[in-house]
Amino acid sequence: EQAVAVAGGIIGGILLLVLLGITAYLLWKKMCCLFSYEKLINPAKTTNANAIFQDQSNSEIQLKSTRSRSIPFIIPPTLHGRDWIHLTNEEQVQEDRDPCMNPQSGPRSSFHSLAGAYVVGTINPDLYKFPEDESETDFPDGNIGRLWFSIEYEQESERLLVSLIKVRKLQPPAESCSPFVKIYLLPDERSYLQSKTKRKTLNPHFDENFVFQVSSKMLLQRTLKFLVYHVDKQKKHHLLGQVIFPLKNETLTEDNKLVIWRDLEKENLEPPSEHGDIQFSLSYNDYLGRLTVVVLRARGLKLQEESPPVGVYVKVSLMNHNKLIKSKKTAALLGTPNPVYNETFSFKADQTELDTASLSLSVLQSNKGEKTLLLGRVVVGPFMYTRGKELEHWNEMISKPKELVKRWHALC
């Protein structure tokens, strides 16, 4: 029994010594890890991910060069040896720290606290930037400003909701600018809604809402008109530009709020001609052999008052010599002296025919029970009844292929 007791004591002593030795080794290794720094190197040149820095100053230089190109993506030391690719968002790993250690004074890198960490890749910050809105940056030459607004229509209450958002890059006649906006619902030009005046800014932000009462039957025949004014020190109003936006081609519902931007246009300050004026754009695609006409609007029309008017429309005819090739016409708008159409027509025309072709635009008024009345017309092109401005418009269209050339013309 004494021998067994002595043998048991010896074995127990040996096990205790082994346990103490293992504990001492683990504590020594932990202390070494706490005071070691891992080398953060470029992953493109890394062959050994467990390389360790011996010099802290070299670590700072390497961190600066790495940050200038990309952000290192590192693995904490507590995750070494783990299948880190399959970690879920719910797993949280906290680094072991010595509660008795005092934080270092002065500036320090956030990577100093990640002892034993190593680089597994980099993140390119440029990939996570929001793309720039082209409408905020792409302003063509000669631009006098750009206006943002939104529209929606409440079917049940028959209300058109217009939100005036902002205007950018205004070109005022003076250094300072105090803009405001008037909003019309054409063809009614007698009443309008007006925004607040923004003081001393070329980029006013309005965020104002306006309501127009209009039936669903009449909605598509209406046109929004925005006039942007500047108020000077003498309280005089100066028109900076306008936006004309027809509603006929828009799908307006409560669930479909349209946010739209348009460039400001200069108003034609010349008085209307005797029979009125019409504005349209011309474009020719020499590759496709297509002639495009965009009928924009008319003004100052002399409507016939003898009978109630039904509508006013524009008939566009392509002629070759005295021969009619093809005719197209716009929708008829209720009798107004300033209709807005904004309709596009395309004609097939070979380039060799442009020297003998012409376009005739006739403004017509239809009446109940009576024949159609001609309010005026204009012909552009090198043939028939073309005049100076009409011929210049045609030649400018040919000299600028695929570009819309817009002009006003007097009706006769």
- Report the pLDDT value the prediction gives residue 212, as an integer from 0 to 100: 92
The pairs formed by 387-392 with CB atoms below 8 angstroms and a separation of 24 or more are none
- Report the pLDDT value the prediction gives residue 280, as an integer from 0 to 100: 93
The pLDDT of residue 38 is above 70: no
Residues in the chain: 412
Q: How far apart are CA 268 and CA 384, in angstroms?
A: 27
Which residues contact residue 109 at a Cβ distance below 8 angstroms, ignoring those fewer than 6 apart? 60, 63
The pLDDT of residue 244 is above 70: yes
Strands 188-194 and 146-154: unpaired
pLDDT band at 93 (very low <50, low <70, confident <90, very high): very low
- Report the pLDDT value the prediction gives residue 22, as an integer from 0 to 100: 87
- Report the pLDDT value the prediction gives residue 164, as an integer from 0 to 100: 93
Which range scores top for mean pLDDT: 35-39, 298-302, 306-310? 298-302
- For the chain, the C-alpha Rg in angstroms (whole number) is 39
Closest CA to 210 of 191, 236, 238: 191
pLDDT band at 211 (very low <50, low <70, confident <90, very high): very high
The pLDDT of residue 344 is above 50: yes
The pLDDT of residue 314 is above 90: yes
CB 120 within 8 A of CB 87: no
Q: How far apart are CA 120 and CA 292, in angstroms?
A: 58
Closest CA to 200 of 228, 175, 222: 175
- Report the pLDDT value the prediction gives residue 246, as an integer from 0 to 100: 86
Higher pLDDT: 41 or 79? It is 79
Encoded tokens for 82: 């783990």
Q: Tell me: the pLDDT tens digits for 272-294?
A: 778 889 999 999 988 888 999 99
The DSSP call for residue 249 is T
Q: Measuring CA to CA, how many Å separate 234 from each of 151, 230, 237?
A: 34, 11, 9
- The DSSP-derived string for 2-67 is HHHHHHHHHHHHHHHHHHHHHHHHHHHHHHHHHT-EE----TTT-S-TT-EES-HHHHHHHHHHHH
Q: How far apart are CA 143 and CA 160, in angstroms?
A: 29
Rounded to 10 degrees, the C-alpha dihedral 12/17/23/26 comes to -130
- Report the pLDDT value the prediction gives residue 290, as an integer from 0 to 100: 92
Mean of pLDDT values over 43-60: 45
Mean of pLDDT values over 147-173: 89
Q: How far apart are CA 59 and CA 309, in angstroms?
A: 85
Q: Give the up-direction half-sphere exposure of residue 281: CA atoms within 13 A in the CB hemisphere.
A: 18
Strands 159-168 and 205-213: antiparallel
Lowest-pLDDT range, 125-139, 152-166, 209-223, 310-324?
125-139
3-state class of 217 per DSSP? Answer: helix
Domain with CATH 2.60.40.150 in the chain: 142-264, 276-411
- Report the pLDDT value the prediction gives residue 190, as an integer from 0 to 100: 80
- Report the pLDDT value the prediction gives residue 311, as an integer from 0 to 100: 84
Return the residue matching tokens 């297509």.
290
- Report the pLDDT value the prediction gives residue 394, as an integer from 0 to 100: 86
- Report the pLDDT value the prediction gives residue 257, as an integer from 0 to 100: 78
**CATH class in words for 142-264:** mainly beta
Q: Tell me: the pLDDT tens digits for 347-381?
A: 998 888 888 888 999 999 887 666 788 889 898 88
- Report the pLDDT value the prediction gives residue 133, as an integer from 0 to 100: 57
Mean pLDDT across the chain, nearest whole number? 76
- Report the pLDDT value the prediction gives residue 109, as an integer from 0 to 100: 44
pLDDT band at 228 (very low <50, low <70, confident <90, very high): very high
Please name the CATH architecture into which domain 276-411 falls: Sandwich (2.60)
- The DSSP-derived string for 310-352 is EEEEEEEEEEETTEEEEEEE-PPBPS-SS-EEEEEEEEE--GG
The residue type at 40: L
- Report the pLDDT value the prediction gives residue 104, as an integer from 0 to 100: 46
Q: How far apart are CA 381 and CA 392, in angstroms?
A: 8
- Report the pLDDT value the prediction gives residue 90, as an integer from 0 to 100: 43
CB 314 within 8 A of CB 278: yes
The pLDDT of residue 29 is above 90: no
Closest CA to 209 of 192, 195, 219: 195
Q: Tell me: the pLDDT tens digits for 167-207?
A: 988 887 777 788 999 999 987 878 899 999 998 888 899 99
CB 211 within 8 A of CB 235: no
CB 163 within 8 A of CB 149: yes
